[in-house]
Homo-oligomer: A and B are copies of this chain.
Amino acid sequence: MVKVTVWNEYRHEKKDEAVAKVYPKGIHSQIASFLTEAGIDTTTATLDEPEHGLTEAVLAETDVLIWWGHIAHQEVSDEIVNRVQKRVLEGMGLIVLHSGHMSKIFMKLMGTSCDLKWREAEEKERLWVIDPSPPIADGIGEYIDLDVEEMYGEHFDVPNPDELIFVGWYEGGNVFRSGMTYKRGSGKIFYFQPGHETYPTYYNKDIQKVIINGVKWAEPTKRNYPVYGHSKALEEIKPK
């Protein structure tokens, strides 16, 4: 069975009443809750735990890591970021949510600024399914409507994705590539835009379904990590 660790910086919830009201036990607990209900073996980790809760032992046991961060990206230690990147390249899945777009780990894996336009304006978002075949959109209708969500707008400075699954339409006139997948090394990465801390996005059943689908999709294959370095000839080389 796939093993998930939900990582959250868990700061907004402690100091902002509006956020605490929506996620009293933290965003990570709410995500872990619907994953557990879906029968997925889920634990959580947060920034202020030793090694941010992401010890070698924890990562070795993690098939898919979910990442939510925002105001404290710079407090994540480079050592842990390198450790997570290594595990992703070895095959661990990674789901980056919302403001995680500027987390150190996502920027490191993308190689770009990961910058975008944004606006908090209580506006409607409609996430259209652009690619009907990937398992990540399994069971989702033509679109998902969110009454309010933070606007994230193009241009989003990330590499062209392997799959573009959702495009967001915003009331205020912007669009955004809201669901995209990438492969890096042996690992699968899914970026999914919804989830502003003051809105109840992770209680939405469709949003939950997409994240559950994402976990299943990102599960590592049973392959050995590729062998690099000096390599003997497999065929005879003629003297020149």
> A residues within 8 Å of B by Cβ?
85, 89, 91, 108-113, 115-119, 121-124, 126, 128-135, 137-142, 147-148, 151, 153-155, 157, 159-160, 162-164, 167-175, 177, 182-188, 220-235, 237-240
Contact = CB atoms under 8 A, between A and B. Distances in A.
A138 B91 CA distance: 12
Contacts of A184: 111-112, 159
A232 B119 contact: yes
B172 A234 contact: yes
A83 to B, nearest CB: 14
B226 A155 contact: yes
A224 B175 contact: no
Contact of A141 (B108, B157, B224): B224
Closest 9 A/B residue pairs (Cβ): A173-B234, A172-B233, A173-B235, A115-B228, A117-B231, A155-B226, A138-B221, A109-B111, A111-B111
Q: Is the interface of A mostly helix, strand, loop or mixed?
A: loop
Contacts of A126: 173, 234
A63 to B, nearest CB: 13
7 contacts: A117-B229, A121-B237, A130-B154, A167-B177, A169-B174, A172-B233, A172-B235
A187 B112 CA distance: 10
A226 B154 CA distance: 9
A168 to B, nearest CB: 8
B153 A231 contact: yes
B229 A133 contact: no
B173 A154 contact: no
Given A121-B237, A185-B113, A228-B117, A223 B132 contact: yes
Nearest to A157: B185
A121 to B, nearest CB: 5
Contacts of A234: 126, 172-174
Residue from A132, A162, A167, A182 with most neighbouring chain B CB atoms (10 Å): A132
A178 to B, nearest CB: 10
* Residue of A128, A133, A163, A226 most packed against chain B (CB within 10 A): A133
